[in-house]
C-alpha cells in the first residue's frame, strides 16, 4: 500500500483564521499561506500515518523547509514520501502544481513522551539558552500570550481541522513573538522594499505541550543571530505559566524584495 496523499484548497479564510489566531502581522499573508500553517497541514497527514504504527503517537520534532510560497485560494497536494518505522520519522511535501512548496520530516514517539533523537536533551538545553540570550543581555521581557478557545478553533480552521488546535496555535505564536522581537530589523528592511520570509523551521516539541489547555499562559523567548547577507536565524523557546517547557527550536528567515515574492506567487 502506498503512502497517503490528499488535495486541499488553502483558502483566504483559512489563512485569515490562522494568522488572526497566531497574531501574525506579516502583510504577506494577505496574499499567501503562513509557514507554520503549511507545517501543521502537512503534519496532520503525517500523524495519521504515524498512528497506524502507534495509536497514541505524537510528534516530538519536526524540520520543514519552505521552497515556494502558496497563494491564497490555491489547490495543493499534500503527500507523504517515506515512513521509517524503525526511528519513527515520516517525510512529506506540499506540491503547488509542479512546484514543491514545502518539504518536511516529522519524528513521532508513543505518547509523544519518549526521547526522540539521542541528542534531544542537549539540543533542547542549547536552544533554550540561545533563545533567552538577548532577553538576559538586554533586559527585554519575553512575549506573553494566553491561549483561548476561540483562537484554538480558529487555528484548527486554518489547518483544515475541526478539533481545537492548541499545539499549532502555541507554535504559531512564536511568529508573533519573532515579529515583535525583530520589529526594528523588519522595519528597516521593509523601508528598503524587502519582506521577511521563512526558509526553514526545526522545532522540538516537549511532552508538556500535549497537556496545554485554554487559558494557559505562554511565555516565548526569541533571539536573533545573523547568518550572512540578509539571512537570519531566530532561536525560540516557550514555557507555560508554571515554567514547564513547551517547545524550542530555530526559525530561519531571509529578506526578499517584495516584487520578487509577488512574482513567485503567480
Q: Of the candidates 56, 196, 32, 39, which has an alpha carbon nearest to the alpha carbon of residue 106?
A: 39
d(CA 220, CA 215): 16
The residue-averaged pLDDT of 241-248 equals 95
Look at 1-10, 18-27, 107-116, 149-158 and tell me which has the smallest mean pLDDT.
107-116
The residue-averaged pLDDT of 33-55 equals 94
The residue-averaged pLDDT of 184-202 equals 95
Say what the pLDDT of residue 114 is: 56
The answer, yes or no, to whether residue 116 has pLDDT greater than 60, is no
Handedness of CA 165, 246, 207, 123 (dihedral sign): positive
Question: Do residues 181 and 137 make contact, with C-beta atoms less than 8 angstroms apart?
Answer: no
The answer, yes or no, to whether residue 237 has pLDDT greater than 90, is yes
Say what the pLDDT of residue 85 is: 87
Q: Which residue has the cell 500553517?
A: 37
The answer, yes or no, to whether residue 19 has pLDDT greater than 70, is yes
Q: Which positions ≥6 away from 99 have C-beta within 8 Å?
A: 67, 68
Q: Kindly list the distances between the CA atom of residue 246 and the CA atoms of 23, 139, 143, 167, 250, in Å, as whole numbers in the listed order.
A: 19, 22, 14, 9, 14
Question: Do residues 179 and 49 make contact, with C-beta atoms less than 8 angstroms apart?
Answer: no
Q: Which domains does the chain have, with CATH numbers?
A: 5-111+118-264 (3.10.129.10)
The residue-averaged pLDDT of 161-175 equals 97
Say what the pLDDT of residue 54 is: 81
Question: Do residues 240 and 246 make contact, with C-beta atoms less than 8 angstroms apart?
Answer: yes
> Taking the model in full, what pTM does it have?
0.94
Say what the pLDDT of residue 131 is: 96
d(CA 144, CA 240): 10
* Interstrand relation of 74-84 and 89-96 (parallel, antiparallel or unpaired): antiparallel
The residue-averaged pLDDT of 148-168 equals 97
Q: Over the chain, what is the mean pLDDT?
A: 93
Say what the pLDDT of residue 2 is: 81
**For a pLDDT cut of 70, what percent of the chain falls above it?**
95
Amino acid at each position: 500500500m502506498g503512502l497517503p496523499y490528499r488535495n486541499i484548497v488553502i483558502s483566504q479564510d483559512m489563512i485569515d483564521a490562522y494568522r488572526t489566531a497566531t497574531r501574525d502581522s506579516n502583510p504577506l499573508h494577505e496574499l499567501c499561506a503562513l509557514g507554520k500553517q503549511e507545517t501543521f497541514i502537512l503534519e496532520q497527514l503525517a500523524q495519521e500515518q504515524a498512528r497506524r504504527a502507534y495509536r497514541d503517537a505524537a510528534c516530538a520534532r519536526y524540520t520543514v523547509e519552505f521552497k515556494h510560497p502558496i497563494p491564497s485560494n490555491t489547490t495543493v497536494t499534500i503527500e507523504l514520501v517515506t515512513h521509517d518505522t524503525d526511528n519513527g520519522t515520516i517525510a512529506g511535501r506540499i506540491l503547488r502544481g509542479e512546484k514543491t512548496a514545502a518539504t518536511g520530516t516529522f519524528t513521532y514517539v508513543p505518547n509523544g513522551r519518549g526521547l526522540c533523537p539521542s541528542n534531544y536533551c542537549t539540543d533542547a538545553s542549547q536552544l533554550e539558552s540561545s533563545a533567552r540570550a538577548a532577553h538576559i543581555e538586554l533586559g527585554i521581557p519575553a512575549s506573553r500570550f494566553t491561549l483561548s478557545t476561540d483562537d484554538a478553533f480558529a487555528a484548527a480552521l486554518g489547518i483544515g481541522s475541526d478539533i481545537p488546535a492548541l499545539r499549532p496555535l502555541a507554535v504559531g505564536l512564536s511568529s508573533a513573538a519573532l515579529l515583535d522581537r525583530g520589529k526594528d530589523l523588519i522595519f528597516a528592511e521593509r523601508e528598503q522594499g524587502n519582506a521577511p520570509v521563512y526558509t526553514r523551521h526545526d522545532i522540538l516539541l516537549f511532552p508538556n505541550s500535549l497537556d496545554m489547555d485554554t487559558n494557559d499562559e505562554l511565555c516565548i523567548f526569541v533571539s536573533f543571530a545573523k547568518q550572512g547577507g540578509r539571512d537570519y536565524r531566530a532561536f525560540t523557546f516557550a514555557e507555560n505559566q508554571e515554567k514547564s517547557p513547551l517547545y524550542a527550536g530555530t526559525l530561519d528567515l531571509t529578506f526578499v524584495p517584495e516584487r520578487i515574492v509577488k512574482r513567485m506567487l503567480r
